[in-house]
Structure 1
Amino acid sequence: MNITRHPENTVSWIDLGTPDMETATAFYTALFGWNVGQPDSNGYRLCTLHGRLIAALGPAEDAGAPYWTTNITVSDIQATATRFTNLGADIIVAPTQVGTLGHAAVTIDPVGAPLSLWQPGTHDGMQLNHQPGTFAGISLLTDHSAQAAAFYQPALHWNSNPEHTEFRLPDNSIAATGKPPGKPTAQRSLWLVSFASNRPTADVERARQLGATEVRQGSHGDVVMRDPTGSLFGLAQHIR
């Protein structure tokens, strides 16, 4: 759908910090038909589809495996960062102004999952989602779903079901929880970003041909994959 505004405490933007920009660019361009722009002075490249902003690729800043970052829109980033700290999260990058675009902060939640906060200025976020090749949702890969639920309800007003298998966000989207791939001791918690597909079987095969590997089948027909640079992503069935 086309988007003009993101409600508070919902996903507004996604970006990938990758150690191999050229490989990542080639992969997502070939898989989803993205147009990846030229890098800015920090190496950050905006991605569009059908002329609409959908994501960005940038140089990896964290050690370890690269990952897609989930950015949550908030109206008062300083107050939200303080609330996160009081509830047990770590603030890795304190609220920082990004020119006229907005203010950003980077956090690690109490179960170890990175999450970024965004207070928009001129950049409100993605302009298209839930279409093939665009953002379809997030899910939390963790062995500590109850602890995560206890954090996100007061932190972002995300409600969890009694089994802690999913969150309901303020825009009524659903974020599932699931086990991380591999051994629990070897994989930190992570927010998994999924992309919509109207031909998931063909897209999985195409992703394999482009150098990705399939990690597992999800519980709702989605597929978790690892791109050629090592970043996890999901493919979710798009219903026309």
Structure 2
Amino acid sequence: MIETRTVISAIPSVPALAVALHRWRQRVPLPPVDEALTPPALAPMYRLSAGSVAEEARAAAQLTGEVAERLRRLTRAYGEWRVFEPGPYFDLTPRQVELLTHIVERASTVHVVFYVDALLPAFQAVQSYAAQVAPHAGSVEQIETVHETLLERWRRLLEVIDGARAHLAEDVNFLGLNGARKEQERWLPMQHLAGLNGSADWLLAGRRTLPTLTLTLDFPLPAFRQPGRKRRLMRTWRRLYGGLSASRD
């Protein structure tokens, strides 16, 4: 198995951010937004501007659609690389590849994940604010202000992603690559471990699951790249033709 990265970003998606925020309430600090994900460091297609919820939702949907199209084309393009390089293909720096993608070559398939959430201004607004303030410092009024501000930003983030997903509701590429369920399931054990459940209404907002724009793709590894392919072909040949010589016309 070959992985093109060794570490997944600690906070790549909304489900992951929910776990981090719940821990933040328990005095576990949040890391700030990585500089590699700020607009000046990103290629133009990934730069999103803060605006109204509707504007951000449309921009997020457009970006998700563009990434989904690149993922769709990857099933054919992958075999053109001796060793696939996600940076040039997705127009990302090495650090951005580490933060936004997860690519694994298995015995006969390739598994790809692209984390769109972390690029959204609304997502970064939540993470930045929580990274800059302490949840239980100051007077009662100050603590309440911090929590209310964070809650307002969190709810806005959920609205943006809900809006983006509504725009993508009939997008065939997105529907085929929608990785929300897998990402939700991936973080569910951590949510339970952190104590995040139905009682944490400020995060779950009455939902059973949290929305995400995470995209996932699985496709066959090109045959010439599959380890042991020649050995498997020989076993098949022997099973079909028994003791016949492989050199026989």
TM-score, scaled to structure 2:
0.28
Q: From the two aligned structures, give the one with the greater helix fraction.
A: 2
TM-score, scaled to structure 1:
0.29
Q: From the two aligned structures, give the one with the greater strand fraction.
A: 1
In our comparison, the structure showing a higher alpha carbon Rg is 2
